[in-house]
Chain A
Amino acid sequence: MSSPSDSMSVRALSDRVSVVDIHGEVTAKSETAISEAYAKASGSGTKFIVLNFTGLSYMNSSGIGMLVTLLVRANRQKQRLLAYGLNEHYRQIFELTRLDEAISIVADEDAALAAAK
């Protein structure tokens, strides 16, 4: 079983765009990891935070709640959140919870970069 504690890594695609790669689970136990990943991804010039869900294996309702908190933090910094790599199941959860109205879902990393231009 994957562990939530080591489930995030961060890459900078440019001065304006950072990617958070999410691996394994997003639950209440991921709170510190997701918060630290956001802090690392969020440089002074960062305008777009891209969440890569390709490696996501499990998410509960607390995980969705944390994404809302992340969204608030990003909005405060005038940053935009994008997401890619969601399988059909998680895409439906984004639609059901209506998170897709605030976090733009794109096909892949190239599409995220294009959206950030």
Chain B
Amino acid sequence: MTTPELPEATAEVQPGELVPLRSDATFWAKDVTRLRLGEVPAEAVNLNVTGKRVVGPVQGFGKLWQKTYRVELPGAPHTPAEVITAWKAAFASFWPDSGRFYGKLTGIDPGDVALLNLSAGGMKLSTGILVLYADDESFTFMTPQGHIFAGWITFSATETDGVTAAQTQVLLRANDPLYELAMPIVIHRQEDRFWEQTLANLAAHLGVEGATVTTSTVCVDKRRQWSKAGNIWHNAGIRSALYLITTPFRAVRRAVGRRNGTG
């Protein structure tokens, strides 16, 4: 990932004048201890986000993986900053049908919390993300307790030899033993398909049809963190499934409550 350069100076610096260093202060989320989700559409399943803490690779259970998806945008006259602006502006629209991103409509800013409704391995799952960091050429999500993995997802754009490329890089550990079991069976493959499709959709939006997305997967740490096995208590897949199973009972309870005038 690259970082934004300081804008070119527009006036000569006078002797003795202080040149301010660039600051990252406005790029990071602030004062987030537990996630709080704003309003979401009625059709969304809103579970496993509000009240949760965010988790990174230190808090996860499984092996530590770095997965990198990259697409070059030859012939597209976009600077890295323009690519990121376009990506932030319509982030949800680039996702494949297997995922729904319910964030605010005006872009991606540090501290934003979004709801995700995903299909993973035939299972419906409600989870979320925190926008941990966002600058002009990159932005990073951090996942909550119960998400499939504990980690960071960084979206960035760079320019090499006049060609701009967009990239998604995920640094992740499966959050608990159940997800870790599913990693080689379904999650790796699903994650790859998801981000490859997302980058292809982004490239098409920027005028590059049929772009090739390259994928690289590196195991950074083969060890599992058994002290984190208890993360399974927050497993969003299990909690989403329980919510689904108990939906008829809740409907009956609501109906009874209405009839008795207490609902």
B6: CB under 8 A from chain A? yes
Measured between beta carbons, the chain B residues less than 8 angstroms from A59 are: 24
Tell me, in angstroms, the Cα distance from A30 to B86 when the chains sit together.
27
Contacts A62-B138, A101-B58; is A2 near B133 (CB within 8 Å)? no
Contacts A1-B22, A98-B56; is A61 near B152 (CB within 8 Å)? yes
A60: CB under 8 A from chain B? yes
Q: Nearest residue in B to A62 (C-beta to C-beta)?
A: B1
A89: CB under 8 A from chain B? yes
Contacts A1-B21, A57-B21, A72-B64; is A28 near B2 (CB within 8 Å)? yes
Which of A61, A72, A99 is within 8 Å of B140, CB to CB? A61
Contact between A61 and B132, CB atoms less than 8 A apart: yes
Give the one of A28, A92, A96, A101 with max B CB within 10 A.
Answer: A96
Tell me, in angstroms, the Cα distance from A65 to B138 when the chains sit together.
14
A29: CB under 8 A from chain B? yes
> A-B contact count, CB below 8 Å?
84
Give the one of B24, B29, B32 with max A CB within 10 A.
Answer: B24
Q: Nearest residue in B to A4 (C-beta to C-beta)?
A: B3
Tell me, in angstroms, the Cα distance from A55 to B262 when the chains sit together.
62
Q: Nearest residue in B to A93 (C-beta to C-beta)?
A: B28
Measured between beta carbons, the chain A residues less than 8 angstroms from B154 are: 61-62, 65
What size tier do the contact residues of chain A reach? 20 to 34
Measured between beta carbons, the chain B residues less than 8 angstroms from A65 are: 152, 154, 169, 171
Which of A25, A27, A89, A96 is within 8 Å of B29, CB to CB? A96
Tell me, in angstroms, the Cα distance from A72 to B173 when the chains sit together.
12
For window 57-88 of chain A, which residues contact chain B by CB distance below 8 Å?
57-62, 64-65, 68-69, 71-72, 75-76
Interface string of B4-45 (1 = CB under 8 A from A): 001000000000000001111101111110000000000000
Residues on A close to B: CB < 8 A? 1-2, 25, 27-29, 57-62, 64-65, 68-69, 71-72, 75-76, 89, 92-93, 96-99, 101-102
Residues on B close to A: CB < 8 A? 1-3, 6, 21-25, 27-32, 53-59, 64, 132-133, 135, 138, 140, 142, 152, 154, 156, 169, 171, 220-221, 223
6 cross-chain CB contacts under 8 A: A1-B6, A59-B24, A60-B133, A68-B64, A69-B220, A97-B56
